[in-house]
Amino acid sequence: MLATFPITRTPASRMTPELRDNAAFGAVFSDHMLVADYAGGKWSEPRIIPYGAQLLPAAPACAHYGQGIFEGFKAFPRPNGGAVVFRPDANHARMARTCQRMAMPEVPASIFIDGTLALVQLDRNWIPEKDNSALYVRPVLFATGETLGVKPGDRIELEEGP
């Protein structure tokens, strides 16, 4: 059973078959992204929102101390109209190891994996149908707390979007 997350759908998709199938790698983003915040020692409820700009404080720790990490994996189309994500558990494990090295809170599997699957299901139409094509999913974790002191970030944001 796929976990459910609050979803705010984009009012109008930008996706066209031409855009989906012919865009250069990394040049076009799908309609939605998964967002979760870490503050006060716990993760907020993840939510799926329309893709777009996010507000950051003027002095986020990620800009001053490079406290940010990413993962990347692919979602492939299924003949039945569904999608399959290749090894999200392995990507979660790798991100968890990186979180430890970067003194960042680990993203729970229920957010990372279930959120990825929910996001891919919602934006399934963005997966190219051409042979040997896939939708690239890029979870990004970065410290947003304002600080000029060298310490682990106390405010972290997870953004994930294809």
Q: With pLDDT > 90 as the criterion, what percentage of the chain qualifies?
A: 56
Closest CA to 160 of 49, 61, 65: 49
pLDDT in tens, 115-129: 999 999 999 999 988
pLDDT in tens, 78-125: 888 889 998 999 999 999 999 999 889 999 999 999 999 999 999 999
pTM: 0.86
Q: What's the pLDDT score for residue 2? A: 56
Q: What's the pLDDT score for residue 162? A: 67
Model confidence at 152, in pLDDT bands (50, 70, 90)?
low
Model confidence at 22, in pLDDT bands (50, 70, 90)?
confident
| Rg (the chain; Cα; Å) | 16
Collapsing DSSP to helix, strand or coil, 111 comes out as helix
Return the DSSP state at 125. Answer: G
Cα 51 to Cα 106: distance, rounded to the nearest angstrom:
23
Q: What's the pLDDT score for residue 69? A: 93
Model confidence at 3, in pLDDT bands (50, 70, 90)?
low
